[in-house]
Structure 1
Amino acid sequence: MDPKLAKLGSSLPVPVVQQLAKEKLARVPPRYVRPDQHQQRILSTLNFSFPQIPVIDMYPSDSSHTLIEEKNKFRQKEGDIEGYGRAFVVFEEQKLDWADLFYVLTSPTYLTKLHLIPQLLPTFRDAIEIYASELKILAMKILKLMAKALDMKAEEMETLFAEGMQSMRMNYYPPCPQPELITGLYPHSDTVRLTILLRQ
């Protein structure tokens, strides 16, 4: 395997937000505050406070600690963005999103990192593999419709993308003590041909 093909980028190591959330902070650390956000400017002009929504932790504290330890087994390795952690942190003073991610390359399978998908719990691993397979089918249907709209032959689009790389990113947004000051995911553009977004 060509290591250049498998390298999708890198990110500086930073604390996972889930761990910060477990510390029951009263205030958001400055690195996560986004005063430049349009949302924040609007909120600052309104004369009301946010209702306090109770957060119910369904896990005992020792279970939460165990879950974080389990996730840490899949932490991103230095110089790689695949795994559990944060993507695209490139300098120490960079503002951070209030989110953690799990990012994996799902296709082609020969580029799969051995410390990631093969080591996941079987039910989770199977779910990822089935979901990725169905997404590939959906993506090809969308691309063929795009080909039709562009007056291309569907086969031409299939030739261009059938053997392309496919990845999956799962974002987790832990409870935040000051949600009006942060963003879960900063506005951005994806540098891929097609993004299929599932929001829950």
Structure 2
Amino acid sequence: MGTVNDDEGLGYGSSLPVPSVQEMVKNDAQTIPINYIKNIEDRPKSCEICPISDRIPIIDLSLLTLGDEDERTKLDVACQEWGFFQVINHGANEALPKIKAAVEKFFDLPLLEKKKYAMAANDIQGYGQGYVVSEDQKLDWNDLLFLMTLPHNFRNMKYWPIPVPDFKEVLEEYAAELERVTNEIFINLSILMGLENDFLKKLHGDVKQGIRMNYYPKCARPDLVLGVSPHSDCSSITLLLQDDYITALQIKHKGLWVPVKPLPNAILVNIGDVMEAWSNGKYKSIEHRAITNEEKPRISIAAFVIPGNEVELNPIKTMVDDRPRIYKNDVKYIDYLRYTLAKKMEGRLANIEQLKIEP
């Protein structure tokens, strides 16, 4: 089984090293360093919160697999109006607690042990924090471990933590389950877009899966910081495993932030920038963020599904037959990915506008 060379990065980008937030809180749980305190306009505010999280669409994957037309229509509406949906009856229930436990064990390791898996200067894989491009930017209240999981030849095993028992086996099982769920979603989106069942999977070319494991320490002043700054995902779709008991993810819907209340054993799926461009704006890549809390730390696990480097983000022909083309024809995925990773998270429009035709 081939893997990338230990000395090679992915060629996607890099992130500057910063101190561990988890360790910082262990040493002093009350002080919030100035470089984590967001500007006033960027802080989470109660007046901007809309408590309608129960309206986040729920999609039954078992019904989609059976070709249920009503469920497929629900998927279509979810992708157009929300860009997010909770997937139930996905068949991966046994893998969920195992991956959560493995990730928790990694972040429970001593700092010196975790640092053995630190991101290299030329890579985004490994332990650290993402989207740090300047020494004076405001930082997010999280630590992460990012690993490429599929295909196998994109893995760099020097970042896979050996001290965590069965980590490799558990992550491989989880990655395979998500690949199955992803393929079923692609089949149904292909049909909804007037295409052959396997169109979206083939369109990805050398489809890849990267998994970001996040640790959000508790925070004495959650009103001053963000776990993750507002952004949209530069994936085609993202599959997120939330903490079952802590509501932290918020999505931008009709100008307000909507908390996404976790649904136990559900996998939360969102549309990424790539799918928005391919669908010519029919399906929406939605801005989202994560807040913190004073009570306890939180773990989440996000799997990004991304196309091959040379795949173009052109709108699909069936998506321009009856609607004006608003996305460009000449953007390769690798160029868009490098563009997004070279910047700090600055909301959705900062990236997605690069894909649109200038008015």
TM superposition score category, shorter chain reference: 0.7 to 0.9
1:88 equivalent in alignment to 2:92: no
Task: Give yes or no for contact 1:144–1:154 (8 Å, CA) kept in 2.
Answer: yes
* Structure that is richer in strand per residue: 2
Moved more, 171-180 or 158-167: 158-167
**Cα RMSD between the aligned structures?**
2.5
Runs (4+) off by over 6 Å: 2-5
2:153 to 106, 110, 132: 110
CA contact (8 A) 1:11 1:87 kept: yes
Q: CA deviation at 1:162?
A: 6.7
Counterpart residue number, 1:135: 178
Q: Structure 2: state its 5+ residue gaps.
A: 49-106, 244-359
Q: Give the match's secondary structure for 1:36.
A: helix
Which secondary structure does the structure 1 equivalent of 2:149 belong to? strand
- Report what 1:16 is aligned to: 20
Shift in Å, 1:122: 4.1
The gaps in structure 1 that reach 5 residues or longer are 44-63
Normalising by the residue count of structure 2, what TM-score does the alignment of the two structures yield?
0.46
The residue that corresponds to 1:47 in the other structure is none
User: Structure 2 matches for 1:114-193, cutoff 5 A?
Assistant: 114-117=157-160, 119=162, 121-161=164-204, 163-193=206-236
1:196 counterpart letter in structure 2: L
Percent identity, aligned pairs only?
33
Distance 1:66 1:168, change over 3 A: closer
Cα contact 1:40–1:181 (8 A) shared by 2:
no
1:164-184 alpha-carbon deviations (Å, 9 max, x no partner): 011000110012121111111
Tell me the distance in 2 between the aligned counterparts of 1:72 and 1:132: 24
Alignment of 1:17-36 (within 5 A): 17-34=21-38, 35-36=40-41
TM-score (norm 1): 0.81
Structure with larger RCO (C-alpha < 8 A, sep 6+) = 1
Matched pairs, number: 180
2: CA distance, partners of 1:141 / 1:5: 31
Per-residue CA distance 1:55-83 (angstroms, 9 max, x = gap) = xxxxxxxxx99522221111111121111
User: Would you tell me which structure has more helix in proportion to its own residues?
Assistant: 1
**Take 1:106 and 1:183, find their aligned partners in 2: how far apart are those partners?**
27
Aligned-pair distance for 1:38?
5.3
